[in-house]
Amino acid sequence: MKLKKDIAISDSGFLFNPSSGDSYTANPIATEILKYMQSGFSNEQIIVSIMESYEVERSTIEKDLFDLESMLSNYKLTR
Amino acid sequence: MKRKKKMKPCYTIAVTGLNAIDSPGPGVPVIRSLKEASSFDVRIIGLSYEALEPGIYMRNLVDKVYQVPYPSAGTDMMFERFRYIQSIEKIDFLFPNFDAELFNFIKLEQKLRDELGVRMVVPSLQQFESRNKVNLFEYGKNHGVKVPAATLVHSAREVSAKLVDMNFPIVVKGKFYDAKIAYTNEQAIQHFDKISAQWGLPVLLQEFIPGTELNVCGVGDGAGKLVGAVPMRKLYITDKGKAWAGVTISDKKLIDLTRKLVKETQWNGPFELEVMKTVDDKYYLIEINPRFPAWCYLTTGAGQNQVESVVNIGMGNDVTYFRKYETGKLFIRYAYDMIVNMNEFEQISINGEL
Amino acid sequence: MKKKEKKIYERPLIRPLNASISNKFGRRTEWLPLTHIDGIPVVDLINEFGSPLFVYSEKKIRDNFMMAKRAFETRYPKIQFAWSYKTCYLNAVCNVYHQMGSWAEVVSGFEYEKALQNGVPGDKIIFNGPDKSKHDLLLAMKNNTLIHIDHFDELYLLTELASSSKSKPRVAIRINMDTGVYPQWDRFGFNYENGQAWEAVNKILMNDALDLVGIHTHIGTFMMTPSAYAVATAKMTELAIQIKKKFNHIITYIDMGGGFASKNTLKGSYYAGADAVPDIGEYAEAITSALLNAGFDRNNLPFLYLETGRALVDDTGFLLGTVLANKRLADGRRATILDFGVNTLFTSFWYDHKISPAQEMGHYAEETILYGPLCMNIDVVRDAISLPPLKPGQHVVAQYVGAYNITQSMQFITFRPAVVMIDREGRSHLIRKRESLDYVQKNEILPSHLKKLNW
């Protein structure tokens, strides 16, 4: 899934969508995932990266990533 | 040897009600009065509930802003937040400015003072509750002040039953907000249905008093003495019923009534009276707000910096008791668009501090 | 090479800023985890007794009771508490109160027999309520129980039974009145303002078949205004004094019932329950000062009976549960499904229960709907709560659930959970087993022609 190009993400987890004017807050792990998305990682690459640095099972991160993506598209933050 | 003029102290004062919007909170006018105080200097800590309260971004008025939990989160949460803020700041005095938060702050008064050194000047819980709209009629009776006859109703059936003893028109009022005038039984029931659905029960049926609405902004010292009082008449109101412009007037009877009420109730702290003056010069008390109104900067402009006096009461300093004010001073409210960078909004939203 | 230390995982979350009405410093109560109850880890309790699970703290029950007792006894010399069975009639809970000197207050033949079986002497039971059968009344008369008469039909029946039995039952009449609080409770007892109460007193005292020892009122439930009790007490004392004047008959006790609020947050209430609710001392002050100011003979003060239930027991009970699943609703809201619902936590119909995670969690929260496990649309435990992201298998604790849940929970769709009490030494005791299929079906009778199934 790809984020809209012009979305600004700060290290503190603040997101601003300049095309809609909406802003969002993300927790640290979501911020990390969003940054991966921006640098063009595939879902598989994201899952592997998260599993490398966090104590988490594959099934959990898969479900959660799917959920995050549904939120992102719900907020119209994806292309 | 005569000592030189004493150095002015500098107090750190926290203020809520930074919502300087079209139905404004009194935070910003309170801060402006504090900045003009002659007996002390101030560092202002703004306390905000939402990230878009305009006062947060008025950097010439507030030195630092912290987000605080909504009153509905409970006093424990509020106290914890203050404990955190006080680990960074040295707040000497706090001005609560919202009706909804006062209940909690009154409950926290002692704890904030004893454990964190934050002082307040607020009415007692008993003073706060007894002036509540639903108790006001009783309050007036107890203190010898005219209050429109009122009765509480809990069902549409009760509305009709109670109306037998009342003359139309009547005012149908919600527990917290809203008031509608009814000229017939059917209208009264309609209003009752609407208001009870929005604000819950009970609903107040009140005698309609025709006349001119006058307001008084004042301060009681908690020992029965009036520190200051300035009456104002609204000249222009918004569609929300808020004053957009008003003028100070001289009205000895109204000041006397205010003095009497403060003496009777030993009122502690700021208040606003809403009063109806009839054509035959009778004064009916409509409401008592237990805090400064949004137009309180007018009192400073008219020569009574009541906000300064409140701080001096709280800090145990000499207090100025005002006897005079200038009549014919106007306030005219205006809207002003600030330009704010996204990163400031980000900081208050994410970190809760700016 | 040593393996790199991995970070603790938390579910990724994003939420809109400008649309949300709450800031992250608000509503934080629910983020604070409750990991232990009286020193025992929640997770251990669930592992041992299953989930969901009700847990009562005996220490808290005793502490609350002592506090209430002190609040009243320091203000008035003659106090008697009676445990309101309907609030929670688990025998273990009842007997904690009875051990501390509380009598029993019952409202049905079932509760009456329960109290007798718990070992409460008949003359230390108050029998209230509109439903007392002839059989119940005869039994109560035999045991010298205090019978609180609710309506004229009961008054006539009891007079008749007393006349033919030659015993003189000890009775009180229940009175309802206007205390300035609405809706007025006028369905129980005799009305004060319209003269019904006085008429009932007249009937009893003229007839002489019954011994009128007390008067009783119960002005409402979850009363937030102590002043209503002052009004009610003043009216009750007035009546007692009038009875003394007219009949030279002394009323030995005034029963002010219960109705004191607990720390729960009623739905629609703006302030958190724990802030808005009066302290027990405020109720005590309102009632006892009205009693002391009534003008009774100081050497002959009436007893004050109290039947408070909810305020004593609500915060001593916890409901432990487990997350079954998470969902994203069509409108983007998060939903979490728990293994207990309105069947078990019946009071979630009128409270916004405080529900906390049972393990340490991160500080990011998301607005969530909490559903129960029932396949029913009404099964909503909280319609909006700000909680950290919970994973299936993690636990939650619903707080302030000690009143009316055990007695009103339904055996519906699934079994009712086990109940555990933690004693003062921190040992847990199973006080009610989880229901089983045998237990639920025990009273069912299948007609013989329906036994055989032909597939």
Q: Is there a single domain that holds both residue C294 and residue C375?
A: no
Q: Does the pLDDT at position B255 exceed 50? A: yes
- Asked whether residue C380 falls in the same domain as residue C320, the answer is yes
Whether residues C232 and C140 share a domain: the answer is: yes
Evaluate whether C288 touches C76 at the Cβ level (below 8 Å): yes
A10 touching B (Cβ < 8 Å): yes
Least confident of A35-39, A68-72, B239-243: B239-243
At C313-357, the pLDDT tens digits run: 999 999 999 999 998 888 878 899 999 999 999 999 989 899 999
User: Can you tell me the distance from the alpha carbon of A17 to that of A72, in angstroms, rounded to the nearest whole number?
Assistant: 12
Contacts of A16 in chain B (CB under 8 A): 342, 346
| Comma-separated ranges of CATH 3.40.50.20 domains in chain B | 10-121+337-350
* C271 at interface of B, judged by CB pairs closer than 8 A: yes
Q: d(Cα C307, Cα C316) in Å, to the nearest integer?
A: 17
Which residues of B are less than 8 Å from A13 in CB distance?
350
Name the token pair of C369: 């709907």
User: Do C358 and C40 meet the contact criterion of CB atoms below 8 Å apart?
Assistant: no
Q: Clarify whether residues C139 and C288 are in a common domain.
A: yes
Per-chain mean pLDDT for chain B = 89
For residue B123, the model assigns a pLDDT of 93
B348: closest chain A residue by CA:
A14
3-state helix vs strand vs coil in chain B, percent to 5: 35, 25, 40
- B70 at interface of C, judged by CB pairs closer than 8 A: yes
Position C455 in a domain: no
Same structural domain, C295 and C321: no
List beta partners, residue C256. none
Amino acid present at C207: N
pLDDT, average across residues B162-177: 84
Query: Is A60 in Cβ contact with C16 (below 8 Å)?
Result: no
Does residue C344 share a domain with residue C301?
no
Does residue C3 have a pLDDT over 60? no
Domain boundary among C279, C308, C337: C308
Same domain membership, residue C368 and residue C262: no
Query: What pLDDT does C363 receive?
Result: 66
In one letter, which amino acid is C454?
Answer: N
Contact C14 A72 (CB under 8 A): yes
* A14·B349 Cβ contact <8 A: yes
Alpha-carbon gap, residue C223 to C266, rounded angstroms: 11
Rounded to the nearest angstrom, the minimum Cα separation between C187 and chain B is 17
Neighbours of chain A (3+ CB pairs under 8 A): B, C
Rounded to the nearest angstrom, the minimum Cα separation between C291 and chain A is 58
Measured in angstroms, the CA of B96 and the nearest CA of chain A are apart by 29
- Best probe of the A interface among B50, B344, B345, B346, by most A CBs < 10 A, is B346
List the single residue in B73, B100, B154 with the smallest CB-CB distance to C28: B73
Answer positive or negative: Cα dihedral of C136, C139, C145, C146. Answer: positive
CB A78 within 8 A of CB A2: yes
Q: Which of A34, A60, A67 to mutate to test the interface with C (most CBs of C within 10 A)?
A: A67
pTM of the shown model? 0.79
Fold of the domain spanning B127-131+210-332: D-amino Acid Aminotransferase; Chain A, domain 1 (3.30.470)
Q: Which residues pair with C386 in a beta bridge?
A: C367
Give the separation between CA B141 and CA B123, rounded to whole angstroms: 20
Which of B342, B345, B350 is closest, CB to CB, to A13?
A: B350
CA B326 to chain C, closest CA, distance in angstroms equals: 41
> What single string gives the DSSP state of each residue in B297-343?
HHHHHTT--HHHHHHHHHTT----------TT-EEE---------HH
The Cα-based distances of C26 to B75, B102, C382, C428 in angstroms read 11, 16, 17, 35
AA letter at B31: I
Q: CATH homologous superfamily of domain B149-207? A: ATP-grasp fold, A domain (3.30.1490.20)
What value does the mean pLDDT of chain C take?
90
Q: What is the pLDDT of residue C364?
A: 73
In this complex, is the C-beta atom of A16 within 8 Å of any C-beta atom belonging to chain B? yes
- Closest CA–CA distance from residue B53 to any residue of chain C (Å): 12
Residue by residue, DSSP assigns C68-132 as HHHHHHTT-S-EEEEEEGGG---HHHHHHHHHTT-EEEE-SHHHHHHHHHTT--GGGEEE-SS--
**Chain B residues closer than 8 Å to C23 by CB:** 49-51, 67, 69-70, 349, 352
Whether residue C271 and residue B73 make contact (CB cut-off 8 A), yes or no, is no
For the ranges B51-55, B226-230, B253-257, C287-291, the lowest mean pLDDT is seen at B51-55
CB within 8 Å of B230: residues ≥ 6 apart: B216, B217, B218, B248, B298, B299, B302, B304, B306, B325
Tell me whether strands B170-173 and B179-182 are parallel, antiparallel or unpaired: antiparallel
What value, to the nearest 5°, has the Cα angle with vertex A36 and ends A34 and A37?
65
Backbone φ and ψ of C336, nearest 5°: -120, 130
CATH code of C133's domain: 3.20.20.10
Peptide bond into B26 cis (omega under 30): no
Please give, rounded to a whole number of angstroms, the shortest distance from the CA of B154 to a CA of chain C.
Answer: 7
Nearest-CA distance A7 → chain B (Å): 13
C343 and C265 in a single domain? The answer is: no
Look at the block and give the residue holding tokens 């002082």: B119
CA A60 – CA B22 distance, rounded (Å): 48
Last residue of a domain, one of C308, C329, C361: C308
Q: Is the peptide bond prior to B169 cis by the omega test (within 30 degrees of 0)?
A: yes
Alpha helices (H) in C7-57, listed in sequence order: 42-49
Q: Is C86 exposed, middle or buried (0-12, 13-18, 19+ CB in 10 A)?
A: middle
Domain segments of chain A as ranges: 8-74
Give the C-alpha distances (Å, rounded to integers) separating A56 from C337, C365, C414: 22, 20, 33
Residues paired with residue B231 on neighbouring β-strands, in sequence order: B216
Q: What is the CATH number of the domain that holds C378?
A: 2.40.37.10
Q: How far apart are CA C260 and CA B11, in angstroms?
A: 43
Which residue from B48, B44, B59 is spatially nearest to B81, judged by alpha carbons? B48
Q: Where are the alpha helices (DSSP H) in B117-269?
A: 125-130, 136-143, 156-163, 185-199, 252-265
Cα B171 off chain centre by:
23
What is the spatial distance between Cα B295 and Cα A60, in angstroms, rounded to a whole number? 56
Mutate to test the interface with B, among C13, C14, C17, C25 (most CBs of B within 10 A): C25
Fold for the domain defined by B10-121+337-350: Rossmann fold (3.40.50)
Q: Taking CB atoms and an 8 Å cutoff, what residues of chain A touch B342?
A: 16, 23
Pairing verdict, β C14-16 and A22-26: antiparallel
- Chain-chain contact of A23 with B350 (C-beta, under 8 angstroms): no
* C2, pLDDT greater than 70: no
Q: Which of C333, C352, C338, C320 is nearest to C419 (CA)?
A: C320
C345: domain range? Answer: 28-55+315-436
As annotated, the residues of chain B forming the CATH 3.30.1490.20 domain(s) are 149-207
Q: Is A25 on the interface with B (CB under 8 A)?
A: yes
> In what helix (H) or strand (E) does residue A55 lie, and over which residues does it extend?
strand A54-55
Q: Find residue B66's DSSP bridge partners.
A: B47, B353
Q: C21 to chain B: nearest residue by CA?
A: B50
pLDDT at C272 over 80: no
Cis peptide before C183 (omega within 30 of 0): yes
Q: How confident is the model over C45-97, as pLDDT tens digits? A: 999 999 999 999 999 999 999 999 999 999 999 999 999 999 999 999 999 99
Q: What residue of B is the nearest CA neighbor of C23?
A: B50
Residues A3-54 have pLDDT tens digits of: 888 888 888 888 888 888 888 888 889 999 999 998 889 999 999 999 998 8
Residue C26 pLDDT exceeds 50: no
Please tell me the predicted confidence (pLDDT) of residue B4: 53
**Using DSSP, how many helices (H) and how many strands (E) does chain C show?**
13, 22
CB atoms B349 and A25 under 8 Å = yes
* Number of CB atoms found within 10 A of residue B64's CB: 16
Our CA-based measurement puts residue B352 at a distance from the nearest CA of chain A, in whole angstroms, of: 12
C-chain CB neighbours of B75 within 8 Å are: 272, 274-275
Provide ipTM, 2 decimals. 0.91
Residues C264 and C132 in one domain: yes
The Cα–Cα gap between A8 and A20 comes to 12
CB of A12 within 8 Å of any CB in chain B?
yes
- Same domain for C321 and C304: no
pLDDT-derived band at C22 (thresholds 50, 70, 90) equals very low
Within this chain, do residues C238 and C187 fall inside the same structural domain, yes or no?
yes
| Cα-only R_g, chain C | 25
Q: What is the dihedral of CA B72, B198, B124, B268, to 10 degrees?
A: 110
Angle between helices C226-247 and C196-207 (to 10 degrees): 40
pLDDT at C113 over 90: yes
Contacting subunits of B (3+ beta carbon pairs below 8 A): A, C
In chain C, the residue whose alpha carbon lies closest to the alpha carbon of B52 is: C18
Work out the pLDDT band at B5, boundaries 50, 70, 90: low
Does C272 contact B201 at a Cβ distance shorter than 8 Å?
no
**DSSP structure class, residue B112:** H
Number of domains present in the structure of chain C: 2
Name chain A contacts of B349, Cβ cutoff 8 Å.
14, 23, 25
Res B124 pLDDT > 50: yes
Note the helical H segments in C118-265: 134-142, 152-165, 196-207, 226-247
**Are the Cβ atoms of A30 and C12 closer than 8 angstroms?**
yes
**Most B-contacting residue of A14, A20, A24 (CB-CB within 10 A), to test interface:** A14
State how far the Cα of B29 lies from the Cα of B298, in Å rounded to an integer: 9
Measure the CA–CA gap between C363 and C161, rounded to whole angstroms: 66
What's the burial of A71, exposed, middle or buried (CB within 10 Å: 0-12/13-18/19+)?
Answer: buried
Residues C161 and C243 in one domain: yes
For residue range B277-315, list pLDDT tens digits in order: 998 989 999 889 999 999 999 999 999 999 999 999 999
Give the pLDDT score at C24: 41
- Return the CA Rg of chain B: 21
pLDDT beyond 80 at C20:
no
